[in-house]
Structure 1
Amino acid sequence: MSWWSWIVIWAVLVLAMLGMYALLGWRLFRKASVVLGELSQLGAQVGSVQDNVEQLTPEPSDNAILLGYAEMYRRRDIQRQRRADEKELRREKRLERGKLLTTSDYRQRTWPHAR
């Protein structure tokens, strides 16, 4: 092989390498521009989601430690009283139903119910 064939081989290899780098650089640039466009859309969507989150933020609940023992005891006492009242009401209704079952007026019995 002569000396000029080595120069041609190396020139072709260097040009192929530069062409490959140019092709890969161009593809990378196109992908980066698409990613930047998607990031701008994502930024707009995150902004709208953040607005929704701010609107839907719940009010902070009562903290038993901050309210103190007296307030929590008062609330618990109110709840106990309410439950006791409901229990008494259910008891009175049960007694009333029981009285209706045990005491019936036989004179008001009609044919389908009479024995």
Structure 2
Amino acid sequence: MTEVTAYLYNKCGTCRKAKKWMDENGITYREIPIVDEPPTKEQLRTYWQQSGLDLRKFFNTSGQSYRERGLKDRLKDMSEEEMLDLLASDGKLIKRPLIIGNGKVTVGFKEDEMEQAWK
């Protein structure tokens, strides 16, 4: 198993759960603070394409930045380029944890998805 990269936020309970799960399952990971060092637009584009997910799934819909900007109503009218620009501009807008490795990407923490992707 190669090392994975995990974009995490230390005040995020979901991120703490994901770290605990990776530690318990022997997953080696490089931690990057998502708020201080968010992925670039091009990195996000690659992760999104590798994930096979709708780009909207990359947004942290329960976050304060998302609500303050009224994105719930604005996203449906945005182009993918605009969404990528927005995500790259604010690490708090990105759903976390964002875990990347071996051509796989998981967004958020669901134990069954983690099992499939990283074990």
TM-score tier after normalising by the smaller chain length: under 0.3
Larger radius of gyration, structure 1 or 2?
A: 1
**1 or 2 for the larger relative contact order (CA 8 Å, sep ≥6)?**
2
Task: Give the TM-score normalised by the residue count of structure 1.
Answer: 0.16
Task: Give the TM-score normalised by the residue count of structure 2.
Answer: 0.16
Bigger helix fraction: 1
